[in-house]
Amino acid sequence: MVGNSQLIEHYRQAHASRVYGTSSVKYLRYLRPEIGILRPRSVLDYGCGQSRFVDMLEIGYPLEVLRYDPAIPQYATPPAQPADLLINIDVLEHIEEHDLDAVLAHMRSLCRHAIIIVDTKASNHMLADGRNAHVSLHPHAWWQARIEKHFGPVRRIATPRSSRAGFATWQLAPRQRLARLVARARETGAYCARRAVGRHKTAWKDSTTHNVD
pLDDT digits (tens, 9 = 90+) for 68-92: 999 888 999 999 999 999 999 999 9
Closest residue by Cα to residue 34 from 197, 172, 139: 172
Tell me if 15 sits within 8 A of 212, measured CB to CB: yes
Quickly state the pLDDT bin for 21 (edges 50, 70, 90): low
Assess whether pLDDT exceeds 70 at residue 205: no
**Residue count of the chain:** 213
Determine the residue type at 195. Answer: R
Assess whether pLDDT exceeds 50 at residue 100: yes
Q: What is the pTM for the complete model shown?
A: 0.87
Quickly state the pLDDT bin for 4 (edges 50, 70, 90): confident
Tell me if 54 sits within 8 A of 87, measured CB to CB: yes
CB atoms within 10 A of CB 149: 12
Considering the chain, what percentage of its residues have pLDDT values greater than 70?
87
- The arithmetic mean of pLDDT across residues 33-57, rounded, is 93
The whole-number pLDDT of residue 202 equals 55
For residue 196, CA distances in Å to 161, 189, 191 come to: 21, 11, 9
Assess whether pLDDT exceeds 70 at residue 210: no
Find all residues with CB under 8 Å of 46, minimum gap 6, and list them: 68, 69, 86, 87, 88, 91, 107, 110
CA distance 29 to 160: 9
Assess whether pLDDT exceeds 90 at residue 51: no
pLDDT: which is higher, 156 or 129: 156
Assess whether pLDDT exceeds 60 at residue 209: no
Tens digits of per-residue pLDDT, 125-144?
888 889 999 999 999 999 99
The whole-number pLDDT of residue 60 equals 87
Average pLDDT, the chain: 88
Q: Is 15 helix (H, G, I), strand (E, B) or coil?
A: helix
The span from the first CA to the last CA of the chain, in angstroms, equals: 22
